[in-house]
Amino acid sequence: MKLLNIGFGNLVSSERLVSVVAPDSAPVKRLVQEARDRGTLIDASCGRKTKSVLIMDSDHVVLSALSTDTIALRSGVSDNNDQEEDTDE
C-alpha cells in the first residue's frame, strides 16, 4: 500500500484515490456538502483554505490545503499535456 502525503502530516492510500479536483465549481461544492451531510467528509486542511478535493473509492471525500498540482506531483502522475508526443510522421 502506497500512502500519499496530502499535507500537515495527513496521508491517504493512493490505491483508493479516484480523483483530485479543484473545489471551485458548483458540482464539487455540492459533492462536498452532500458528503458532509452523510458524514463521509474528512477535512484534512487543518483550518487552511481548501485547494483540492480528493474523492476516494470508499465514497469518502477528503479536503486538502495542497493544490491539485502538488498532489499530482506527489502521487507521481503528470499532466497529460506534458506527455503529448508528435504522432504526425
Give the whole-angstrom CA distance, residue 59 versus residue 49: 22
- pLDDT tier at 89, thresholds 50, 70, 90: very low
What's the average model confidence in pLDDT over 51-68? 98
pTM for the model stands at 0.85
What's the pLDDT tens digit per position in 13-51? 999 999 999 999 999 999 999 999 999 999 999 999 999
The number of beta carbons lying within 10 Å of the beta carbon of residue 60 is 16
Average pLDDT, the chain: 91
Residue 72 pLDDT more than 50? yes
